[in-house]
Structures are given as C-alpha cells and as structure tokens.
Amino acid sequence: MTLQRQSLLVLSVAIPNTLLLEGFKTKLAEKLVERSGQTTEYLYLKIKNDSQKLSNYFDKEIIKSYNRKEEELALILFSVGCATLQFINSCATKSDNGQAALIQQDLFLLEN
C-alpha cells in the first residue's frame, strides 16, 4: 500500500460518518497526490483551511446535516476533487489506458 493510499485511509477514518473512496476514485486521487509532489496531508490542509469559505457554495440545509461539517466537507472536497482533477488530466493526456468510460461512470455517480 502506498503512502498516499495510507494517508487517504487515515483521513477517512479520522472523520466519522464519511465514506471511504472506492474503486477508481481512490486510485485517481492517489495519482494526483503523487503527481503533485506534495503530501496528502499538505493538500488536504489547503482545502480544510478554506472549507468555511467553500461551504458557502453549498445548500445550507445539506451542510447542516454534517456533524463536523468543516472536516467532513474538507475530506469530501479533497478526495472527490483530486479524483476529478486526475480524471480530467488522464483524458487530456490520453493516459487512461482505455478505462475512461469505467472511470467516468464511477466518478460521476449520483451521490457525488
């Protein structure tokens, strides 16, 4: 298990009631972190530090449902954001190994 994957697991376990990234999302997020040359923790903290400002872009009723809204929102934005950015990069550079349809299906599920 890579250090990035371990860090993603630690983040998801540290914040109760959040779902662990599954399938391609984990791999995509891991690749983006690796490509960035930064640590998972560093990138996560950049999002977490702006989570209050970012929460203004979401429906207030949805945000109220989170117990620890800043931490949970930060984790969701970080994990799904990294996966989405890496998916875009993979498509742009044609480095998805022919799996774009599978990745797209997994990435853009209704619950996201």
pLDDT at 105: 66
pLDDT at 90: 82
pTM summary value: 0.67
pLDDT at 3: 53
Report yes or no: 84 and 62 within 8 Å, Cβ to Cβ: no
Taking only the tens place, the pLDDT of each residue in 54-86 is 888 888 887 777 666 677 788 888 888 888 888
Amino acid found at 75: L
In whole angstroms, give the CA distance from residue 112 to residue 102: 16
**What is residue 39's DSSP assignment?**
-
- The contacts of residue 60 (CB under 8 Å, 6+ apart) are none
pLDDT at 42: 92
Residues in the chain with pLDDT < 70? 1-24, 66-69, 96-112
